[in-house]
């Protein structure tokens, strides 16, 4: 599992970067698959953990991803650690971290090098991210802006060598979702005569069904049917520069002695989730304990 591998590599790097806080130990927690948040917390309690950092593996914050995970963490702590024996802080986003940007850019450069010199400059970069329902976007979720910020920084790092677009995948149900949809973009560019599309999963940091099946197989087959040479940039997975980014985030965070970012403290303008406020208050209250 890539998340476990990433955690193990960050552990080792952190032991070198911050010997004063070593030894470091990573625990993986998922919302809807094992190990669940509750299972991870039980393991942490058994291991005698007293200080923990909740590090999201979503570079860009959304209430539907990182926010939901932090809310579940807060709920689980009420029963598993009601006396707050583990002192917490949180790293909730890092959409423009320099090493994250560099890791994405280097992977793109590696893929572009696989095209002929004549074709390379005509390759359209298709940054694809998980979509959001428009009801969530209109509530004030920062995710679309943060994904766009990542894309902008990556393109600056690349020197804006190629044309590009940000598109959105994995929509479900009849409600309105953020667009344009990745598959519709492929069809649209085929009609415009585009011959080369390079897909970049810009909001995922490891391979899973949305890269290996949705992008590689479903969209790959669609593009082939439309006469497009469709390729995908490899995911970050255990990319050394990405691991350095995560370790740098944790190291800097620990030295800052902060428990929560100012951005996480701010709720969406139309937020109606009471748990959201309680979660933010919990992490804010940890500052005096760490």
Q: How many CB atoms lie within 10 A of CB 231?
A: 17
Element (H, E) at 284: helix 274-285
Q: Is 152 a catalytic residue?
A: no
* Residues forming a β-bridge with 128: 167, 201
Q: Is 97 a catalytic residue?
A: yes
C-alpha 214/C-alpha 217 separation (Å) is 6
Q: How many CB atoms lie within 10 A of CB 221?
A: 11
- Cα torsion 32, 38, 42, 45 to 10°: value is 120
Determine if residue 210 is left, alpha or beta; phi over 0 gives left, psi from -120 to 50 gives alpha, anything else beta.
alpha
Instruction: Point out the catalytic residue in the list 97, 130, 196, 253.
Output: 97
Cα–Cα nearest to 126, from 89, 167, 169, 162: 167
Instruction: Point out the catalytic residue in the list 92, 102, 141, 248.
Output: 248
CA distances from 210 to 58, 66, 126 (A): 14, 18, 15
CA distances from 169 to 49, 174, 179, 205, 287 (A): 38, 14, 8, 15, 38
Q: Which residues contact 157 (CB under 8 A, 6 or more apart)?
A: 101, 102, 104, 105
Enumerate the active-site residues: 97, 248
């Amino acid at each position: 599992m890539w998340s476990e591998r990433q955690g193990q590599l960050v552990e080792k790097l952190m032991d070198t970067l911050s010997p004063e806080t070593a030894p470091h130990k990573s625990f993986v927690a998922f919302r809807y698959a094992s190990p669940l948040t509750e299972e991870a917390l039980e393991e942490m309690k058994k291991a005698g953990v007293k200080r923990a950092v909740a590090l999201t593996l979503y570079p860009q914050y959304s209430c539907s991803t990182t926010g939901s995970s932090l809310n579940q963490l807060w709920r689980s702590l009420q029963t598993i650690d009601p006396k707050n024996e583990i002192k917490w802080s949180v790293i909730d986003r890092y959409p423009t971290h320099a090493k994250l940007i560099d890791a994405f850019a280097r992977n793109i450069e590696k893929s572009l090098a696989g095209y002929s010199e004549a074709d390379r400059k005509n390759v359209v970069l298709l940054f694809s991210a998980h979509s959001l329902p428009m009801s969530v976007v209109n509530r004030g979720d920062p995710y679309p802006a943060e994904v766009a910020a990542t894309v902008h920084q990556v393109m600056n790092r690349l020197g804006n060598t190629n044309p590009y677009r940000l598109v959105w995948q994995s929509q479900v149900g009849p409600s309105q979702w953020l667009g344009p949809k990745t598959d519709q973009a492929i069809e649209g560019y085929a009609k415009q005569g585009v011959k080369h599309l390079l897909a970049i999963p810009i909001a995922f940091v490891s391979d899973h069904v949305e890269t290996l099946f949705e992008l590689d197989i479903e969209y790959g087959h669609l593009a082939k049917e439309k006469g497009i040479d469709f390729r995908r940039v490899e995911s970050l997975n255990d990319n050394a520069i990405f691991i350095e980014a995560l370790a740098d985030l944790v190291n800097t965070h620990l030295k800052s002695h902060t428990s929560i970012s100012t951005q996480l403290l701010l709720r969406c303008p139309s937020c109606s989730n009471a748990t959201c406020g309680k979660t933010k208050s919990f992490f804010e209250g940890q500052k005096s304990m760490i």
